[in-house]
Structure 1
Amino acid sequence: MRALLKTCWAALAVFAVLTLAGCQTTGTQNNKLTEAQYAYSAAIRWGDFEGAANMIDPDLRKKLAPTAMQLERYKQIQISSYHDAGTEVDKEKGSAARVINIGVINRHTLAERSVRYVEAWTWDPESKTWWLISGLPDLWEGQ
């Protein structure tokens, strides 16, 4: 009876450790997503589009990084607001999407408009980093 009780306690302890380890991994992944999104949104809010481009997935960076001309265009605007309108995370696929409403002011005309943008993120388990896979927002869409 004592041996059975010890085995049950040992199994329970192993289960608890594995469960907590799983929670820690998920918690760390969620924390890293929050940190990445905060850093990205701060870069956009402050007009640091080159810094924001560094958060693009390295495999996609050549394809999605802004050109010199696009970076010059970004200098013609000022971000007045950056609001999260909803986030969806798929832990199984290691992906996340966040809908953003961005207030944009044209520095030359001082006209303000609102742009809706969807950030797409992917989790890289090797580097334990979230990477942006949607590229920088197109703040001139429809114009």
Structure 2
Amino acid sequence: MRLAIAFVLAVVLTLAGCATRREQDQLQKVLDSYAATLRWGDFEAAYAFVDPKQRKAHPLTDLDRARYRQVRVSDYDVQSTVPQGEHEVRQVVRISLINHNTQSERSIIDAQVWRYDEQAGQWWLESGLPDITR
């Protein structure tokens, strides 16, 4: 009887680990894809990674779009990625930007919050696009 209980427990834990591993794999793909999108300077496409609730509450303005068009991303350096509970990850990234008009380069720190939406089966960026006005 103990062996049967141990076996069932092992199967349940293995299946739970598979779901977690799937989420981790998906997170890594999403983080890599988001980084590549920003490196290419496609802030409009990067906006699709933002949680739909955030997009609805804080839509991009024409001024935001103009500001993003004014810069080019020259470096995207992940400083840290730390899980914050079961379905949340915080990532800190140093983003170097070159202003098209002045050709001056500066760096900003982007503190990202990523959340896994179990219903959608998707990781969403809750913190929004980087604030390049700082």
TM-score, normalised via structure 2 length? 0.93
Letter of the aligned partner of 2:30 in structure 1? A
Residue 4 of structure 1 corresponds to which residue in structure 2? Answer: none
Larger Rg: 1
Q: Decide whether the 8 Å contact of 1:44 with 1:52 is kept in 2.
A: yes
Q: Decide whether the 8 Å contact of 1:53 with 1:65 is kept in 2.
A: no
Are 2:70 and 1:114 aligned? no
Aligned with 2:110: secondary structure?
strand
TM-score, normalised via structure 1 length? 0.88
Residue 73 of structure 2 corresponds to which residue in structure 1? Answer: 79
- What RMSD over aligned residues (CA atoms) do the two structures have, in Å? 1.2
User: Residues 12-91 of structure 1: matches in 2 within 5 Å?
Assistant: 12-91=6-85
Q: Percent identity?
A: 34
What is the distance in 2 between the residues matched to 1:18 and 1:10? Answer: 12
Letter of the aligned partner of 2:127 in structure 1? S
Q: How many residues align structurally?
A: 134
Q: Decide whether the 8 Å contact of 1:56 with 1:65 is kept in 2.
A: no
Q: Which runs of 5+ in 2 are unaligned?
A: none
Residue 36 of structure 1 and its aligned partner are, at CA, apart by 1.2
Please list the CA deviations of residues 98-141 of structure 1 after superposition, one character each: whole Å capped at 9, or x if unmatched. Answer: 00000100011110111111011111011111101111001121
